[in-house]
Amino acid sequence: MKYRCPTCKKNFDNTADRQEFFPFCSSRCKLVDLGSWLNSEYKIAESPVNSVNQDVPLRQTGKNNTPSEDSEANH
Ligand SMILES: [Zn+2]
């Protein structure tokens, strides 16, 4: 029976020695698929970090505009 590897789109026979990789044609394709799935998860988690980096200059100026503790020290 011929199967199609979801990773490399290659047709392969699901022989006994490939059962552990099914539905992938090899351990490499199985790991690649798992890695790409994890990478997509990480990208979703990292996308807010990238926007934060763009806001860093604004946040630094914001810190300078909050002298609440300094005014209390002057009293
Ligand atoms: Zn493959």
How far apart are the CA of 42 and the centre of ligand 1, in A? 23
- The stretch 46-53 carries a mean pLDDT of 58
Q: Which protein residues have a CB closer than 5 Å to ligand 1 (ion)? A: 5, 7-8, 25, 29
What is the predicted pLDDT for the residue at 38? 83
For the segment 10-31, what is each residue's pLDDT rounded down to a tens digit?
Answer: 999 988 888 899 999 999 999 9
Structural domain of residue 36, as residue ranges?
1-46
Is position 69 within any domain?
no
Number of domains in the chain: 1
What is the predicted pLDDT for the residue at 40? 83
The token pair that represents 45 in the structure block: 């988690």
Is position 7 within any domain?
yes
- Distance of alpha carbon 29 from alpha carbon 5, whole angstroms: 8
Predicted TM-score of the model (pTM): 0.50
Is position 54 within any domain?
no
How far apart are the CA of 40 and the centre of ligand 1, in A? 19
